[in-house]
Amino acid sequence: MIELRNLEKRYDNPLTGQPFYAVKDLSLIFPSGEITALLGPSGCGKTTTLRMINRLIEPTAGQILVEGENTQSLRPEALRRRIGYVIQQIGLFPHLSVAQNVATVPDLLGQPKAKTRARVRELLELVGLEPGQFGDKRPSELSGGQQQRVGVARALAADPPVLLMDEPFGALDPLARDKLQEAFREIQHNLKKTIVMVTHDIDEALKLGDKVALLNAGELAQFGTPDDLVRRP
Residues that bind ligand ADP (CB under 6 A): 11, 22, 40, 42-48, 97, 99-100, 103, 107, 113, 116-117, 120-121, 131, 135-136
In whole angstroms, how close is the CB of 115 to ligand ADP at the nearest point?
9
Of residues 33 and 43, the one with the C-beta less far from ligand ADP: 43
| β 211-216/219-224 pair status | antiparallel
Phi, psi of 103 (to 5 degrees): -80, -5
Q: Answer for the pair 155, 86: CB distance below 8 angstroms, yes or no.
A: yes
Instruction: Provide the 8-state DSSP code for 141.
Output: G
Of residues 121 and 179, the one with the C-beta less far from ligand ADP: 121
In whole angstroms, how close is the CB of 31 to ligand ADP at the nearest point?
22
Cα 175 to Cα 155: distance, rounded to the nearest angstrom: 23
In whole angstroms, how close is the CB of 17 to ligand ADP at the nearest point?
13
Share in percent of the chain as helix, strand, coil (round to 5) = 40, 25, 35
In whole angstroms, how close is the CB of 178 to ligand ADP at the nearest point?
23
Q: Answer for the pair 124, 132: CB distance below 8 angstroms, yes or no.
A: no
Rounded to an integer, what is the distance from CA 24 to the centroid of its chain?
21
Of residues 11 and 93, the one with the C-beta less far from ligand ADP: 11
Rounded to an integer, what is the distance from CA 48 to the centroid of its chain?
12
Of residues 56 and 78, the one with the C-beta less far from ligand ADP: 56
Of residues 64 and 120, the one with the C-beta less far from ligand ADP: 120
In whole angstroms, how close is the CB of 23 to ligand ADP at the nearest point?
7
| β 162-166/194-199 pair status | parallel
